[in-house]
Structure 1
Amino acid sequence: MVKLLDLLSLCVLLSIIAVVQGARQSQDIRCGACRALVDEMEWAIAQVDPKKMIQTGSFRINPDGSQSVKDVPFARSEGHLLELMEGVCEKMKDYGETLDPVTNRKKYVRFMAREGTSEDVSNVSYDSRVVSSLKFACETIVEQNEDEIIEFFSHETDNVKDRLCSKRTDLCDHALKMPHDEL
């Protein structure tokens, strides 16, 4: 009877540990996807000529004969941001998984180099499971937080990773102490 109780206790304990690890892994994936999404959006915005402008507002003629139209930078316009969000999750194929030696948590880093840059791919694991998990998490984040993403990228330029992924969406509540350039 005592051995049966010990065995049941061990099974319950192992189940609890599995659930906690699963939740932690799920949070790591969502946080990594959010931080990668921000990194990809920031990079794409930086590739646009800052002098390129687009007219926004109403093209209706007001009673006084004027129009409520203004020029805004194309890179941070709602139309451009929506276009970027349509394809940003495809970029998750360029990311792999590694273990942070300090926090012992999984993090996701770009292993495919962009033009003119090289990436350190030592200790980075790349497989279809990681890519599909990151892509799914990214798509979910974009779908559930589209308005917040547009709001942050149209106005904010500093510390978007922490402000969007940690403070606004709570996807990375464990990551507030992570450096800004780290995923």
Structure 2
Amino acid sequence: MNDYNLHVDPETQEKSYKRFAPRDGEQIGAIDFNNFQFNADTSNYLKFVCESVVEKHEDEILSLIAQEADSLAGKLCSEKTGFCQVSSHSEL
């Protein structure tokens, strides 16, 4: 979670948490850091929220893993938890 922070889209003002640092060997295009709002407490907050979501939906997660479901991430994100919406500019 240390590589994510609040991002405000300069055109739509939509707020989302986005990755600003590459993973090992990954190339991330040009990033305008002016659109990020860096806060030292963000990674702790995101970690807490993610752990809470996993804890709340533990049974559904285990059920999907046990079924070896196709597109597990999409099913967890949209069908089981309702946290994700299909968006043309979503980059989480």
Q: Tell me the TM-score normalized by structure 2.
A: 0.69
Report the Cα offset of residue 118 of structure 1.
Answer: 2.6
Larger Rg: 1
2:69, 2:89 → 1: CA distance? 15
* 2:56 is equivalent to residue 147 of structure 1: no
Q: 1:157 to 1:95 in 2, by over 3 A?
A: farther
2:50 to 138, 147, 155: 138
Q: 1:125 to 1:152 in 2, by over 3 A?
A: farther
More helix by share: 1
Matching residue of 1:96: 5
Report the Cα offset of residue 159 of structure 1.
Answer: 6.4
1:152, 1:146 → 2: CA distance? 10
Matching residue of 1:107: 16
SS in 2 for 1:156: coil
Gap runs ≥5 in structure 1: 1-91
Matching residue of 1:167: 79
SS in 1 for 2:5: strand
Sequence identity percentage: 36
List, as ranges, runs of 4+ consecutive aligned residues in structure 1 with deviation greater than 4 Å: none
1:171, 1:105 → 2: CA distance? 16
Q: 1:121 to 1:148 in 2, by over 3 A?
A: farther
Matching residue of 2:31: 121
Quick one: which amino acid aligns to residue 160 of structure 1? A
Matches within 5 A, 1:1-183: 92-101=1-10, 104-119=13-28, 120-122=30-32, 123-154=35-66, 155-158=68-71, 160-161=73-74, 163-172=75-84, 175=85, 177-179=86-88, 182-183=91-92
Report the Cα offset of residue 108 of structure 1.
Answer: 1.4
Q: 1:99 to 1:180 in 2, by over 3 A?
A: closer
SS in 1 for 2:2: helix
Q: Tell me the TM-score normalized by structure 1.
A: 0.40
Gap runs ≥5 in structure 2: none
How many residue pairs get aligned? The number is: 88
Q: 1:150 to 1:121 in 2, by over 3 A?
A: farther
Residues 152 and 160 in structure 1, CA contact (< 8 A), matched pair in contact too: no
2:70, 2:9 → 1: CA distance? 27
